[in-house]
Structure 1
Amino acid sequence: MRLISYHEHGSPDVLRVEDVPAPAPGPGRLLLRTEAVGVNFVETQLRGDTAPFPSPLPGRPGGDVVGRVEALGPDTDGPVPGTRVVAFGVPAAYADQVVVEAERALVVPEDIDAATATALGSSGQTAWSVLDAARIAEGDTVLVHAAAGAVGHLVTQLAKLRGAGRVIGTVGSPAKADFVRAHGADDVVDYRQPGWADEVRRLTGGRGVDVVLDSVEGAVFKDGLKLLRPYGRLVYYGFAGSGGKVAQVAMTELFGLTYVVGVSLDAWTKADPARVAEARADLVRLVAAGALRVAVHTTLPLTRAAEAHRVIESRSQLGRVVLVP
């Protein structure tokens, strides 16, 4: 079968198609035949060795995989062969067949197309976990960074569904503004422009925001923290703009009755399994009903994984980038 990997760090050109034996599922795991793979930004950072944690070689990009169960490993309780599922955090995901942990697999209805269904993996579940941590109250003003991204356009919609009174989305280029408004934002601000935080203050009459959802970090992190009203919450869940250097917060910066909480999908799934099961069921229901709209920016063949990475690194995407066999 085909597997995309890299043996050195660098540009997307280091990605290679390899011919390898099909994997075999061990205990607690499933073998899937791939239908679609959701490409996540962090994999471009790992490939380029710019993530704020080690990126060992050889690298085999992970992702969100939609596929059919072909086999169950020994002593595995899971969907029967033939069942269509999506799994998140799949290692070596850019492949014709993948092995996934059974507990990370979610059954996908047949009427949800494969590219759309990739959002039921890490992007949709991350959006849900971020909003759980934000504890949004009815009428809150919420600032969503990178609101046109794979997670951003989902979290913007979900914030509204949870009762946010006003959502301000930030973008890295004016060309994304209409897309962000179409996916639930009341206002849009370009965070790459000097004075972007002052524009947020103007939009809120100088009061700032109740919640900041930050997957960008870098230069916007401290300004976002200063935008919080008393008892405001900044939820940190990514580092797309960090350049490999994680932001630092002095405790004295929280004296304004503000909170910072970090979220990872693994921590969320372990914290309250019953809550997570409900959230996953709700995600499927919302996507199937069209109440949560998944934007697919482009769908590319598996062999064009390098192009998929270039699209993401260009910061031009609107929603998901997906690979198909």
Structure 2
Amino acid sequence: MRRVRYHEYGGPEVLRVEQAEVPVPGEGQVLVRAEAIGVNFVDTKYRQGPEAGAIFQRPLPGTLTGDVVGTVEAVGQGVEGLAVGERVAALVAEDAYADYVLAAAQWIVKVDEGVDHGSATMLPMGAPVALRVLRTGGLTPGESVLVHSAAGGIGHFALQIARLLGAGTVVATAGSDAKLEFAREHGADIAVNYTEQNWTGAVRAAVPDGVDVLLDAVGGDVLRRSFEVLAPYGRAVTYGAASGDLISVPVTSVFALKSLAGFNLTAWRTARPEQARAEMDELAGYVAEGKLTAAVHATVPLAEAAEAHRLLDDRAALGRVLLVP
């Protein structure tokens, strides 16, 4: 089979297609023949190596993560409730860019045949993160929400889920006119360009009392300035640092009756496995019913994985970028 790895840090060109043996599932694992692979932005950071910042360090040779949709080919010992031939989706932590992948059975989602590849690739990771960061922020019906990076895979799902949860005003931020329009099409009432100096003023003008829940995966100055637009008792939830900067938030924000929480999917699944599993099934129902849909910016052959990374490096992608074997 083919798989993609990198043996040096650098640009997309370091990604190499290799030949490898089809892996054998161990205890609690499932072998999946890939139909489509959702490419995650974080892997472009890992690929860059030390220059991406201390928080994005992985040893060589570099393997790649991904959200894989495909067909069960074999199951390992102890796996129950999954059968050969079923269509599933799984977050694959190593060697996701491959014709066949291994996944932990515990976190696999069964996928209806009518669900498109893009939406199916959101079920293992993107959709659960989007839902849980909103719930971590304690969103209640009628409250306002601000979603940073709203044109990304998780961001455009967070906009839709906020609507499903009964949010009031939904504000999106992104870095280009095309991304702002895309955010409006996926549920935002107001879209603001956060590369502009006075983006906080634009948000305040739209929501004078401040936003109740704020979702951020950028970090750095964007997160710090976000506290300027939070309402009293507003809640910010951070779940990434695409900027590579984990700048601290001033303690004075706490005294202003504003709070910050962090979210990590692995930690969530470890702390509340039954609830995490239930939320995955909840989201699969929304997708099957057509209440949540993913936009696919591009579909790229597996052999051209470097092109998929170029699209993410250029920061122009709207929604998901997929690889297909």
**TM-score for both structures, normalised by structure 2:** 0.96
User: Is the aligned partner of 1:164 residue 2:160?
Assistant: no
SS in 2 for 1:151: helix
Hey, what does 2:313 align to over in structure 1? 313
Hey, what's the Cα distance between the residues in 2 that align with 1:263 and 1:90? Answer: 18
Aligned-pair CA distance for 1:55? 1.4
Q: Deviations over 1:119-157 (max 9, x none)?
A: 112111111111120110121111100111000000011
Hey, what's the Cα distance between the residues in 1 that align with 2:118 and 2:190? Answer: 28
Equivalent residue letter for 1:123: G
Equivalent residue letter for 2:221: A
8 A contact 2:127–2:283 mirrored in 1 = yes
Hey, what does 2:75 align to over in structure 1? 72
8 A contact 1:89–1:122 mirrored in 2 = no
Hey, what does 1:203 align to over in structure 2? 206
Q: Deviations over 1:215-259 (max 9, x none)?
A: 111221111022111111000011112xx3322134333111111
* Higher mean C-alpha displacement, 36-45 vs 266-275: 266-275
CA distance change for structure 1 residues 177 and 252 in 2, over 3 Å: closer, same or farther?
A: closer
User: Is the aligned partner of 1:215 residue 2:217?
Assistant: yes
Aligned-pair CA distance for 1:166? 0.4
Aligned-pair CA distance for 1:47? 0.4
8 A contact 1:300–1:308 mirrored in 2 = yes
Hey, what's the Cα distance between the residues in 2 that align with 1:252 and 1:115? Answer: 42
Hey, what's the Cα distance between the residues in 2 that align with 1:192 and 1:215? Answer: 15
SS in 1 for 2:286: helix
8 A contact 1:287–1:294 mirrored in 2 = no
Aligned-pair CA distance for 1:208? 1.6
State the Cα RMSD in Å. 1.3
Aligned-pair CA distance for 1:9? 0.6
8 A contact 1:30–1:101 mirrored in 2 = yes
* Paired residues for 1:13-92 under 5 Å: 13-49=13-49, 50-51=52-53, 52-92=55-95
User: Is the aligned partner of 1:240 residue 2:242?
Assistant: yes
Hey, what does 2:100 align to over in structure 1? 97
**Count of residues paired in the alignment:** 322
Equivalent residue letter for 1:237: Y
Gaps of 5+ in 2: none
Equivalent residue letter for 1:267: A
Hey, what does 1:226 align to over in structure 2? 228
Aligned-pair CA distance for 1:113? 2.3
Equivalent residue letter for 1:225: F
SS in 2 for 1:304: helix
Give the % identical residues: 46
Hey, what's the Cα distance between the residues in 2 that align with 1:143 and 1:113? Answer: 28
8 A contact 1:72–1:78 mirrored in 2 = no
User: Is the aligned partner of 1:185 residue 2:188?
Assistant: yes
8 A contact 1:65–1:90 mirrored in 2 = no
Gaps of 5+ in 1: none
SS in 1 for 2:79: coil
Q: Deviations over 1:158-207 (max 9, x none)?
A: 111111100100011112222111100000000001100011111112x2
* Higher mean C-alpha displacement, 300-309 vs 245-254: 245-254
Hey, what does 1:291 align to over in structure 2? 291
Equivalent residue letter for 1:99: L
Hey, what's the Cα distance between the residues in 2 that align with 1:53 and 1:105? Answer: 26
8 A contact 1:7–1:14 mirrored in 2 = yes
CA distance change for structure 1 residues 175 and 115 in 2, over 3 Å: closer, same or farther?
A: closer
SS in 1 for 2:298: strand
Hey, what's the Cα distance between the residues in 1 that align with 2:190 and 2:97? Answer: 36
Hey, what's the Cα distance between the residues in 1 that align with 2:28 and 2:278? Answer: 22
Hey, what's the Cα distance between the residues in 1 that align with 2:41 and 2:136? Answer: 22
8 A contact 1:78–1:102 mirrored in 2 = no
Hey, what's the Cα distance between the residues in 2 that align with 1:67 and 1:55? Answer: 27
**TM-score for both structures, normalised by structure 1:** 0.96
Aligned-pair CA distance for 1:78? 4.3
SS in 1 for 2:77: coil
